Amino acid sequence: MTSLPRRPLRPLTATDPERVDGYRCRGLIGGMNLGYTYAATDEAGRWYAVKVLSRVLTEDPREAARIRRGLELVGRVGCPRLPPLVATGSLPSGTGGERLWYATSYVPGPDLGTLVHATGPLPEVRVRLVAAVLAEALADLHAADLTHGNLSVFNVLLGPDGPLVCDAGPGPGDYREYHETVDPALPLVVDPNAGGPGRPVAPAHDVFSWGALVLYAATGRSAVESDEDRERLWREGVDLSGLPEDLRGPVEEALRRDPRERPTAAELLSRLTGAAHPRAAVRTALAAHWSPLPEPLRLAHHPSRREHARGALLLFAVLAALALVVALSVLGL
């Protein structure tokens, strides 16, 4: 087997699968509303990222069909800023339905949220490259009449050759209902005005997420953290201090309240590169200025809900044992 990938992995628990089809799970990368992502190897020892989607997303056959179709379409985009999709399938869910999964090529680098949480905001050169790559990925998706709809600090991966955007395709059918279940401790990058029952995600909502992600990469701050912040954002505008000067205008425009007043992803890409051929300019900039993160790099991670629950149970058990010892001591036993 090849050496462990350069990103923090958590040990598997009893509730995690040991295998997903032909892939052997080696560790948990992370998980949120869409499901859990595992670092896995095939029989030849090659590494992949395997995501097992939440039962809530796929127990409805119509929702499962929508997600399958989304993955199929994203697989055809051929965007160099998306990890290639290599396989899809389903597992029994235990409730008579199925749990969809998909595998992509493995990115041996941390996600944006984990890195900023551990080491602070990115240097300016990395912020500019992240901004350009995100804009390129969204422009390619939008040109194919697709939206991401699930951008977060955890699906922007910082690989050795540059940033990549993962989890495009199986986005939520109901944007508002989905994102209202996000852990409140996580940096929010979703459009507060986006979606609602029966209202699909629009490209302008992805653009808002672009602005919030660039702000987070440069400053470690969320554009929106609460309902009060949401009202402040619309009333006063976002705090742009800490952003490189040339990114302030694009980020401010991307975070406008009215989606119709936001630039498109293609416009952002053109403005950021200032080149007649922006995709070629991004490739050149990455080759000249992007370097892999230094190793060894000990990265902290945001505890998952499962880890919080596991920690609470362990603490309860320790306290109960201590109480028993004290009681026995008082009784002279």
pLDDT 10s digits, 188-223: 677 766 655 455 678 999 999 999 999 999 999 887
Positions in the chain whose pLDDT score sits under 50? 1, 4, 174-185, 197, 296-333
The phi, psi pair for 26, rounded to 5°, reads: -105, -20
Residue 191 burial (CB count, 10 A)? 28
Residues 6+ apart with CB under 8 A from 215: 221, 222, 223, 238, 240, 243, 251, 255
Beta-carbon-side half-sphere exposure of residue 41 (alpha carbons within 13 Å): 11
pLDDT of residue 91: 84
**pLDDT value of position 227:** 58
Determine the pLDDT at residue 252.
94
pLDDT, tens digit, 9 for 90 and up, residues 298-319: 443 444 433 433 333 333 343 3
> What does the alpha-carbon distance between residue 85 and residue 333 come to, in Å, rounded to a whole number?
63
Sign of the Cα torsion 77, 80, 86, 92 reads: negative
How far apart are the C-alpha atoms of 251 and 123, rounded to whole Å?
A: 17
Whole-model pTM? 0.81
Task: Give the closest residue to 147 by CA, choosing from 201, 106, 86, 228.
Answer: 201
